Amino acid sequence: MHWDDLRIFLAIARAGSISGAAKRLAIQHSTVSRRLRTMEERLGTSLIERKGSGYELTEAGEELQLSARKIEVEILEFEGARGGHDTGATGELRVTAINNMASTVLMPIFARFSEAFPNIELHVQVSNKFVKLAERDADIAIRLTNAPLDTLIGTRLTTVASAVYGARDYCARMTAGEVDEKWLGIECCDFHVSWTRDARPDNRHNFYVDDTLLTLAALKAGAGLAYLPCFMGDGEPSLARYRPPEPRHDLGLWLVYHRDLRRTQRVRLFSDHMQREIGNVRPLFEGQLPAG
């Protein structure tokens, strides 16, 4: 059995479906289905079976998954060992980041990495949810947290500060006593939900959003007040800080990856690149306003 066959099987096992595996591998659904049938015919047994809730591995499938994972680790170790000797960096690198960063401040940094290493196939994936790095949902995750998993290798890139923002005109009218303080209902993450609840204990809202990019748009439209990371709020001329950043709301921006990838050259190159680039824009993340 070829490694490419096992790679497809692992994707099916991890995604729980053929369509999910096809999306993960960026290949056709029919290709994944055909390769699975070929593997089952070659082995003379079924590897997956359809249940009411989706696909499940058979006993043979479970055994093959264990073997395939061991082979995967060996291949990653080999790639890492060779990475220390090879002058060129090649291969696929899948990076996941939260939407508000990936589509704004991080995108130029990603683009410069791709330009510097054209033989690395960079895949940027947006996800605001927990990504299972151990199951290769991604190679690298860029996440906001103050408690990274100790099972992963992590580098703290910087601190991300947050403040309360509103449209400049709206904030001026509140200061003048012309309008009452009104808060957006935030459902984008546990951090902002908790902070908003503390700031507005009565929990009365009539306008809810579930993404920070939507929060930004609503604030620009004068819909009220809300917490935003300073790298978003300070970069929008139509917004003003209604409350300054508070240290208790600081979050760490972490780059994390699985231990199996610790010697993989493209992972090391990307980590080094991100540390250099983030260092150049650290005041933006930390909420340091320019003097004057």
| CATH value at residue 236 | 3.40.190.10
pLDDT surpasses 80 at 69: yes
What is the pLDDT confidence band of residue 247, given thresholds at 50, 70 and 90? very high
Residue 157, C-beta contacts closer than 8 angstroms, at least 6 positions apart: 142, 253, 254, 255, 274, 275, 278
pLDDT mean over 270-290:
93
Residues pairing with 167 in the sheet: 239
Count of domains observed in the chain:
3
Residue 63, C-beta contacts closer than 8 angstroms, at least 6 positions apart: none
Tell me whether residue 102 is in a domain: yes
Tell me whether residue 76 is in a domain: yes
pLDDT mean over 15-39:
87
pLDDT exceeding 70 applies to what percent of the chain? 90
Higher-confidence residue of 222 and 151: namely 222
What is the pLDDT confidence band of residue 85, given thresholds at 50, 70 and 90? very low
Pair type for strands 120-126 and 91-97: parallel
DSSP for 170-194 reads HHHHHHTTSS---B-EE-S-HHHHH
Query: Do 150 and 170 have their domain in common?
Result: no
Tell me whether residue 199 is in a domain: yes
- pLDDT tens-digit series, residues 193-225: 899 989 887 777 889 998 899 999 999 999 999
pLDDT at 137: 66
Query: Do 49 and 112 have their domain in common?
Result: no
pLDDT surpasses 60 at 51: yes
Tell me whether residue 292 is in a domain: no
Distance of alpha carbon 162 from alpha carbon 104, whole angstroms: 16
Query: Do 113 and 66 have their domain in common?
Result: no
* Environment class of 71 (CB within 10 Å of its CB; exposed 0-12, middle 13-18, buried 19+): middle
Return phi, psi of residue 53, to 5°.
Answer: -95, 0
Contact indicator for 130, 251 with CB cutoff of 8 Å = no
pLDDT mean over 148-170:
89
pLDDT mean over 12-33:
86
Tell me whether residue 95 is in a domain: yes
Query: Do 113 and 236 have their domain in common?
Result: no
Tell me whether residue 109 is in a domain: yes
pLDDT at 251: 94
Domain extent for 184: 162-249
Contact indicator for 218, 188 with CB cutoff of 8 Å = no
DSSP for 209-240 reads ESSHHHHHHHHHTT--BEEEEHHHHTT-TTEE
- pLDDT tens-digit series, residues 36-47: 999 999 999 999
> Within a 13 Å sphere around the CA of 202, how many CA atoms are in the beta-carbon half?
7
Tell me whether residue 53 is in a domain: yes
